[in-house]
Amino acid sequence: MAAAAKFLFDEDFASGEKPTITLVEAERRRADAESIAHRQGFEAGQNQARTEQNERIAGALASLADQAARLDGALRDIEARLESEAVQVAFSVARKLVPELIAREPFAEIEVLATDCFRQLIATPQISIHVGQDIYDIAKHKLEEIARARGFEGRIDVMADATLAAGDCRIEWAEGGVVRDREATLKVIEEAVQRYITARTAPKN
């Protein structure tokens, strides 16, 4: 800001005479005062405009940040929903395919389970294996072959169980046993899937 013009008097006040200035000097001083006032007003206006502009920019940035946060939350919700739907579809497809696969190879899963048991229980004197009535004949012959191939020399009792579905079995020995129950397994998987979906789609605090 330009310094204000000093108001100087050349007159001697001690003389008792009234100070006087020329009309030109008075006009110059008035013009200087108007110029100073104009500059001060212009600068004040600019400062106010800059302040208002900064406030508008800050408000716009805050609004953008809020919108971005809401958009991010919405995208996360969509991602969780799509992922959950994909898991549900995959489980539904698997549940439909399992019976078809078992129908084609009803002994396949039993063979895997029995083979593992024979390997670990090679010194066990007796093992009882319960299978579905529909596959009893083929299961008895194949299980005896698998046992001998794995070096199992104990007694094998293969029994038909009308309560067991195709592909299911129950293997028992003196110290324990193991069961393959397709429906029970699917139920456990379904419960795990539902827990996962609930956790993924639960509202975030």
Residue spans per domain, the chain: 105-189
Rounded Cα–Cα distance for residues 102 and 134 (Å): 13
Rounded Cα–Cα distance for residues 1 and 181 (Å): 92
Which band of pLDDT confidence, cut at 50, 70 and 90, is reported for residue 158? very high
pLDDT in tens, 92-141: 766 666 666 666 777 888 888 888 888 888 888 999 999 988 889 888 98
Question: Do 110 and 155 touch, CB atoms closer than 8 A?
Answer: no
**Residue with structure tokens 């090679």?**
122
CATH class of the domain comprising 105-189: alpha beta
Which band of pLDDT confidence, cut at 50, 70 and 90, is reported for residue 73? confident
Q: Does the global pTM surpass 0.85?
A: no
